[in-house]
Amino acid sequence: MRSMITQPVRAFEGGAAGPSAEDLLCIDTIRTLSMDAVQKANSGHPGTPMAMAAPAFALWQNVLRYDPADPLWPNRDRFVLSIGHASMLIYSLIYLAGVRDVKNGKVLDAPALTLEDLKQFRQLDSRTPGHPEYHHTAGVETTTGPLGQGCGNSVGMAIAEKWLAARFNKPGFDLFDYHTYTFCGDGDMMEGVASEAASTAGHLKLGNLTWIYDSNRISIEGSTDIAFTENVGKRFEAYGWHVLEVRDANDQKAFLAALADAKAETTRPTLIIVHSVIGFGAPKKAGTAAAHGEPLGDAEILGAKKAYGWTNDTPFFVPDGVQDIFSKGLGARGAEASAQWKALYAAYAKEYPDLAKEVDDILTGRLPAGWDKDIPTYDANPKGVASRASSGEVLNAIAPNLPWLIGGSADLSPSTKTNLTFQGAGAFQPPEWNGTYGGRNLHFGVREHAMGSICNGISLSGIRAYCSGFLIFSDYMKPPIRLSALMHQPVVYIFTHDSIGVGEDGPTHQPIEQLVQLRATPGVTTIRPADANEVAEAWRTLIPMTDRPSVLILSRQNLPTLDRTVYAPASGLAKGAYVLADSDGTPDVILMATGSEVGLVVSAYETLKAEGVKARVVSMPSWDLFEAQPQDYRDSVLPPSVTARVAVEMASPIGWDRYVGLQGAIIAMHGFGASAPAGALLKKFGFTVDAVLAQARALLAK
């Protein structure tokens, strides 16, 4: 180590003072590990880790309240690398800081990453995938890579801290006061989702949030001047952010002063604009697009190491003492802070045992006893109720018994029926906007994309989050829904106005292909209930799911409430599909549907039954839950010997062929809808009892 520390401290742009020799040793180790890993993988992004190693080290070593020995410590500061392509930056930090590994929610006496793991960057089954993945690598707080998503997640994390503090902090017991730091880049600043999230954070006055913007002005196509020339600082000032600027990423003194300023500002989120040189130190590629998304090449790496004063050209060389430096800084500070918190929590548990039990349940993903005790049962009613309305009733029956269930809509709660109306529910707003940070109703505004990514951040903090909108606008939310599934986060997505039954709003608002998209996303449970009792069972099924997101698809129009003394109980929903109505023995024809169309096929079934036809009705609210059942159960619902099958759904037919087979029929949408009253649309597009009967009779006649 001594030979490394004696290297001269370089001069930086604008006369900025560089780091100390000891700090510089750590910073250059981050840089060289990042370069070497990308080079070995022959794939990756070396330039940003080289540019931002100094601010990252300064944050982790001097400011971040984080215990590497306990990466699950609840009151740790959160570090989000929204610029997920710079993954070697966080992998190097995790390795050098000695972050412990985590498995099944338990911290192990083993490192999260070893030097060998860094050498396996981007390789099959490695712990260092191309972009950071939550649950895959301990120390990674969220899966990032799609630009802007990490920014949205960080707003959710900041919201969660505010909510936890409002509910659980007591005089002398500040259980939750952590800060969220996010590294973002030019790409994030261009993405609309980050702008939506920033606008939300400014409105909510989230003073516990700091974004550190790496303004290197380079993207894959070259200088950002070809597409991005706005004044980002002025934009964020307009959002209501506190904006600071550091002229040179290597100016540790200026950067640490900016971090202190950000922490002191408690009524506004802070944006720190850090000007950096991508590929810093590379003799030919520094400051160019060539340093962004491809290996530097051996010659350029040697030149960069020479510029750093590096005395050992061996790839993945870590000088003696670097990890000790991290241990004496971040490690010691984090260990002391986490020990103090745990002692505080032990005293809190004695003083406030009921609240401590809630905290424990949140941290472990447990549900409180009796969370479902007030879920209603609905009497038969031919007029019925819209499933969006019954869902709102069920939600309001669950939420008082599940105190950490919070959420809202993209300015649509009167339509999606997702507002929590019980006494004390309140609105999550700063006091200036007549709310409280303990409120449980979130108002996201018309920001569907940010809403989804914010809910992921809330969920990553242990709180159960839900959000809602019209099904057609799930188009704006595919990235966060996909990331919910990748991260196994139990966010509940509530989508209403689920079909051409929307009527006069026309084809722009009538979902057709959205169900296919949601069903095609791995790890997402999609449920489209047929009546109020299936809605109740849907909520009873999805709330205990803690390892996946759920999507609840609901109607605008009334759905008849089926008489469950005549038809099978709605509890069959838990298996995804079930026999709702049947005949004696093996049926001659099977009618199947989801949602509002179930009532339609039930009417057709009754006609066929009166004609002496042996018919069966199968309600199929959740394909993925059905596919998870044993084969013998699936065969009992859909006997392979019965080939006369009719499926009915006001959406794309794609996917139904697996259930109707080559000889069956599908009544579905083969184009977009139209603007007209719902009744006229159902007749025009063939969603009538007569149309179902015609298809069934045609199949029976074969």
Catalytic site positions: 448
CB 71 within 8 A of CB 137: no
3-state SS of 494-505 is EEECCCHHHHHH
Partners of residue 617 on adjacent β-strands:
581, 591
13, 276, 435, 612 from 281: Cα distances, Å: 12, 11, 50, 84
Which tokens go with 551? 């999507």
Residues 6 or more apart whose Cβ sits within 8 Å of residue 125? none
Question: Which candidate, 536, 617, 526, 615, places its Cα nearest to that of 576?
Answer: 526
Order of strands, sheet of 209-215, starting from the edge strand that comes earlier in the sequence: 78-81, 180-185, 209-215, 270-275, 242-246
Q: Tell me the three state secondary structure of residue 656.
A: coil
Partners of residue 78 on adjacent β-strands:
180
Binding region: 45, 85, 145-147, 186-187, 216, 218, 292, 388, 415, 473, 497, 505, 509, 556
Q: Tell me the three state secondary structure of residue 679.
A: helix
Binding region for Mg(2+): 186, 216, 218
DSSP letters along 148-213, please?
THHHHHHHHHHHHHHHHHHHH-BTTB------EEEEEEHHHHHSHHHHHHHHHHHHHT-TTEEEEE
Question: Which candidate, 584, 587, 531, 209, places its Cα nearest to that of 394?
Answer: 531
Binding region for substrate: 45, 292, 388, 415, 497, 505, 509, 556
**Residue carrying the six token digits 């745990």:** 342
Alpha carbon distance 292, 470 (integer Å): 39
C-alpha 608, offset from chain centre: 46
Number of other residues whose CB lies within 10 A of the CB of residue 354: 7
Cα atoms in the Cβ-side hemisphere of radius 13 Å centred on 52: 32
Question: Which candidate, 533, 541, 539, places its Cα nearest to that of 559?
Answer: 533
Binding region for thiamine diphosphate: 85, 145-147, 187, 216, 292, 473
- DSSP single-letter state for residue 453: H
Most distant CA pair in the chain, distance: 95
CB 117 within 8 A of CB 126: yes
